[in-house]
Structure 1
Amino acid sequence: MTEPMLKVRDLHAYYGKSHVLQGVNLEIMPGEVIALLGRNGVGRSTTAKAIMGEVRPRGEIHFKGQPIAGLESHRIARMGLGYVPESRDIFPMMSVRNNLILGIKDMRRHGKYTVDQMLDMFPNLRARADNLAGVLSGGEKQMLTMCRTLMGDPDLIIIDEPTEGLAPKIVQQIGDMIAEIAKTGVSILLVEQKLSIALRIANRVYVMGHGEIVWGGTPADFRDREDVRKEWLEV
């Protein structure tokens, strides 16, 4: 039986005295795309940060069978777990091309992607490859952040709110980009508000509420559960 790529059990996390995550349980299998849904403030981004070591976790986190709870973020990344934060962090005074090169973890070996392959895959970035990254639009910065993470050759990538604040046309492009990433066999944990994107891409869906997983199933199951949508997602 295939082991999960990522396995989280009874995950808790705090901001000061605020108990944000209250026993999160989830699994991601190799090559699987999981959408993590829920209202703002329920702990979805904190879950991503706790897995990546940016928030101190309490509980069990196993990645490719190895315990990673409490490890430093750079050690977790080197094990093959990529992270695209909501903040779209780029190096604005460096070129798009050099931002991509910075994502390479080991210059001595080739990963799944080269810089030219990334630029060929996403013509928006190809046209601006030698421009300063700081002049990119919000959508282009999101593309660049995801591409730079892929240059690190991850086995699993966590993408936090990639379409937040973007125009509908760019939202569609970002969704298409994530779908292309999924085709390469990289596992994905997608934290996303827009159901149209999440349900189009995901193999399975988890819904969060009050710091824990309150429902899980396939996109088809989710579409049939109006009660889940009303209680945990609709405003």
Structure 2
Amino acid sequence: MTKPELNISAETLLSVRGLQAWYGKSHILHGVDLDVKRGEIVSLLGRNGAGRSTLLKAIMGAVTTKGEVSFAGQSLGGQKPHKIAYAGIGYVPENRDVFPDLTVRENLILGLKSKGEGRWTMEDIFDLFPVLRTRAETNAGALSGGEQQMLTICRTLIGDPDLIMVDEPTEGLAPKMVATVGALLERIAAKGVSILLVEQKLVIALDISHRLYVMGHGEIVFEGTPAGLMNAPEVRAEWLEV
């Protein structure tokens, strides 16, 4: 993979300010600030338990929160997850939620919004990942882990989001499939869709991201470019390396 071109708008699409989140009485996020611009790939790095997945769920309204989340200039505070999805945010969880007894095509159809096809048609999706075309009538449960991951990303994409949040898409995948997922995310961003990526593999994040945030103990402990992170060995040693 090559570094993506910085062909992004100066307009901030997603803005998070002072975001706190809880699971029951457990206080997980402690005042997170984060921005994603239109067409930008932003990665969230950190060790397990740092709060990265919780941040995505908080943005989607799936956990108890306090603070401000705005999208395309509109506040998302207090909205239900399905309303946030219809506002233009797609969410790909880490557990690859496919419908195993439905075909690949049927899984993709379920991702369509009620208004019908948007900027991405079924053919666009098949062009992005041709293996899905060849397996369109195969039950999703028969796909490999990597193919299921691509299907979940593509099912979200066909819903026509302006921003996709993707949680650990390369977890457990073979190196070749990791590269394929990274290339797919770059192609999606090249068409103007912003991406907020939770990723454990530093190499992938450095390759495809315009900017990076590092989280630790529910807070942002670093914000900058891939080059900036590479020039901050103390940050990597304290918050990323095992």
- Shorter-chain TM-score tier: over 0.9
State the superposition RMSD in angstroms.
1.2
Aligned residues: 234
Q: 1:156 aligns with which of 163, 174, 179?
A: 163
Structure 2 counterpart of 1:234: 241
Is 1:135 aligned with 2:138? no
* 1:12 and 1:23 in contact (8 A); partners too: yes
Distance between the aligned counterparts of 1:70 and 1:87, measured in 2?
Answer: 25
Distance 1:15 1:92 in 2: 29
Q: Tell me the secondary structure at the aligned position of residue 12 of structure 2.
A: coil
Residue type of the alignment partner of 1:170: M
Q: Which amino acid aligns with 2:25?
A: K
Secondary structure, counterpart of 1:5 in structure 2: strand
CA distance in 1: counterparts of 2:95 and 2:108, whole angstroms: 17
* Aligned counterparts of 2:63 and 2:189: Cα–Cα separation in 1: 27
Q: Matches of 1:196 and 1:41 in 2, distance apart?
A: 20
Residue identity matched to 1:100 = L
Q: Say which of 151, 155, 179 aligns to 2:186.
A: 179
Where do 5+ consecutive residues of structure 2 fail to align? 1-8
1:5·1:64 contact (CA, 8 Å) conserved in 2? yes
Matches within 5 A, 1:1-235: 2-108=10-116, 110-235=117-242
Q: Which runs of 4+ in 1 moved over 6 A?
A: none
Alpha carbons 2:44, 2:215 under 8 Å: kept: yes
Q: Which amino acid aligns with 1:47?
A: L
Counterparts of 2:38 and 2:82, CA distance in 1: 22
TM-score where L is the length of structure 1: 0.97
Q: After TM superposition, give the deviation of residue 3 of structure 1 in Å.
A: 4.0
TM-score, length of structure 2 as denominator length: 0.94
Q: Which amino acid aligns with 2:113?
A: K
- Checking the alignment, whether the CA contact within 8 Å between 2:23 and 2:64 is kept in structure 1 is no
**8 A contact 1:56–1:70 mirrored in 2:** no
Q: Contact conserved, 1:51 with 1:69, CA < 8 A, in 2?
A: no
Task: State the shift of 1:2 in Å.
Answer: 4.6
Q: SS at the partner of 2:137? A: coil
Where structure 1 has 5 or more consecutive residues not aligned to the other structure, the ranges are none
Q: What CA distance in whole angstroms lies between the structure 2 residues aligned with 1:119 and 1:223? A: 36
The answer on whether the counterparts of 1:82 and 1:158 sit within 8 Å (CA) in structure 2 is yes
Of all paired residues, the percent bearing the same amino acid is: 60
Query: SS in structure 1 opposite 2:181?
Result: helix
- The offset of 1:57, in angstroms, is 1.4
